[in-house]
Amino acid sequence: MRIFAIKERTKTADSTDKTIFMQNRITEQPSNYRDLETRSIEELTGFINSEDKSVAPAIEKELPRINALIEVIVEKIKNGGRLFYVGAGSSGRLSVLDVIELPTTYGVSPDLFQVILAGGVDRLVEAREEMEDDKNEAWEKLREKGISKKDIVIGISASGTTPFVLAALTTCRKEHIETGCIVSNPGSPIAAQALYPIEVITGPEFITGSTRMKCATAHKMIFDMISTTTMVRLGRIIDNQMVNVKLINHKITDRATKMLMRLGDISDYDMAKEMLFRNGSVQNALKSLNSKNHRA
C-alpha cells in the first residue's frame, strides 16, 4: 500500500519548470463566471452551489492515495508517533479546527495530531498571510516539538508552492522524516517533496484565485476523512458511537449516558450515569461492566 502512494518526481525543478508551473496553476485560472456584480442573489448562490458539486468527485479520484496516507498515519501513531500538519492560509486554518476537536470527541492526547501554522496557531484569527513566505519558522517549530522519524509531516497548500510549507517538507525529507501533502494543483513543488501526495484538483474558483472556496472545502473534507478514519482504526469508536467522548457538558454527558445504556443493556439512567462518571468514558465503563459479568 505504501509504494502505491508514492509518485516518482524529481526533488527539485529548474527555474524554467518553476516559472511554467507558476503561470499554469489551476487555482489561479480565471473563474468560469463573469460580471458577477450584475447577478442576482439567486444566480450567485446557484452558481456557487453548482461549483461545490465538483468537490466530492475530485476527492473520490484521490481516494487510493488518501487511503494509503491514512494507513501510514495509523501505523505511525500505533508505534508512538504523531501527525503534524504544516499549513498556511484558509486550508491551514481549517486543519486547526479539525485537530482541536479530536481530544474532546475521541478522548485522545492533544499531542497526537498537531498543527504548525504560518503565523502561529495562537494568532489564528489574524490571518497573517505574510508569514507564508517564512522559510525557517515551520522547521524551527517542528524541532521545538521534538520531531523525529517516528512522526509524519503533512504539508497543506492550495497552490502547492507556499514557501512556509515547502521548506518544512524539504527539510523533513533530508532528515528522513516521512511526508505527505494536500494540494490543489498537479505537479507542484510541494507534492515533489511528499512521499504521499494528495492532489485534489477542484478547478478554477468562483471568485478567481479565492482558494478559501472549493479548495478549502475539499481540504476540510479530507481532514475529516483522515482524522475520523484514523480514530476508528485506533479503536476509539465502537459500532458508530463516540465511546471515548469527554464529558465536558450536560448535553454530551446525557448522550454518553444513553449510549452506555444501549451498549451495556442498562435500564436505569442514574446508575448508568454514575458508572460513566466513575469510569470516565463509555468505553471504560463497558470494559468494567464486561469484566464484572465475566467474573460472575
Per residue in 189-222, pLDDT (tens digit) is 999 999 999 999 999 999 999 999 999 999 999 9
Residue 147 lies in a domain: yes
Residue 184 and residue 92 in one domain: yes
Mean pLDDT is lowest, of 23-27, 44-48, 175-179, for 23-27
Residue 62 and residue 188 in one domain: yes
Provide the mean pLDDT of the chain: 91
Task: Please tell me which residue, 7 or 55, carries the higher pLDDT value.
Answer: 55
Residue 101 lies in a domain: yes
pLDDT at 296: 53
Residue 244 lies in a domain: no
Name the pLDDT band for 293 (thresholds 50, 70, 90): low
Residue 145 and residue 174 in one domain: yes
Residue 208 and residue 81 in one domain: yes
Q: Does position 16 have pLDDT exceeding 70, yes or no?
A: no
Mean pLDDT is lowest, of 76-90, 114-128, 193-207, for 114-128
Residue 99 and residue 221 in one domain: yes
Number of domains in the chain: 2
Residue 155 and residue 275 in one domain: no
Q: Does position 258 have pLDDT exceeding 70, yes or no?
A: yes
Residue 180 and residue 228 in one domain: yes
Which member of 51, 62, 132, 178 is catalytic? 132
pLDDT at 53: 97
Look at residues 233, 261, 285 and tell me which one is the last residue of a structural domain.
Answer: 233
Mean per-residue pLDDT for 114-134? 82
For residue 209, what are the CA distances in angstroms to 32, 128, 184, 213, 259?
Answer: 12, 18, 12, 9, 45
Residue 102 lies in a domain: yes
pLDDT at 122: 79
Residue 30's contacts (CB-CB under 8 Å, 6 or more residues apart) are: 204, 208
Residue 220 lies in a domain: yes
Tell me what percent of the residues of the chain surpass a pLDDT of 70: 90
Residue 88 lies in a domain: yes
As a whole number of Å, the end-to-end CA separation of the chain is 45
Q: What is the CATH number of the domain that holds 37?
A: 3.40.50.10490
Burial class (CB in 10 A: 0-12, 13-18, 19+), 238: middle
Alpha helix segments (H runs only) across the chain:
2-5, 15-23, 41-52, 55-61, 63-78, 89-100, 102-106, 137-144, 163-174, 189-192, 214-233, 250-264, 269-279, 282-295
Place of cell 484521490: 62
pLDDT at 8: 42
Q: Does position 97 have pLDDT exceeding 80, yes or no?
A: yes
Domain range for 140: 2-233
Per residue in 30-74, pLDDT (tens digit) is 999 999 999 999 999 999 999 999 999 999 999 999 999 999 999
Is 101 one of the catalytic residues? yes
Look at residues 192, 208, 233 and tell me which one is the last residue of a structural domain.
Answer: 233
Residue 216 and residue 264 in one domain: no
Residue 228 and residue 257 in one domain: no
pLDDT at 133: 87
pLDDT at 17: 57
Is 60 one of the catalytic residues? no
Beta strand pairing call for 113-117 and 83-87:
parallel
DSSP designation for 36: G
Residue 110 and residue 137 in one domain: yes
Evaluate whether 76 touches 82 at the Cβ level (below 8 Å): yes
Taking the C-alpha atoms of residue 104 and residue 107, their distance in angstroms, rounded to an integer, is: 5
Look at residues 233, 259, 287 and tell me which one is the last residue of a structural domain.
Answer: 233
pTM confidence score: 0.89
Residue 243 lies in a domain: no
Residue 52 and residue 90 in one domain: yes
Taking the C-alpha atoms of residue 228 and residue 219, their distance in angstroms, rounded to an integer, is: 14
Residue 22 lies in a domain: yes
Residue 185 and residue 112 in one domain: yes
Q: Does position 294 have pLDDT exceeding 70, yes or no?
A: no
Name the pLDDT band for 285 (thresholds 50, 70, 90): very high
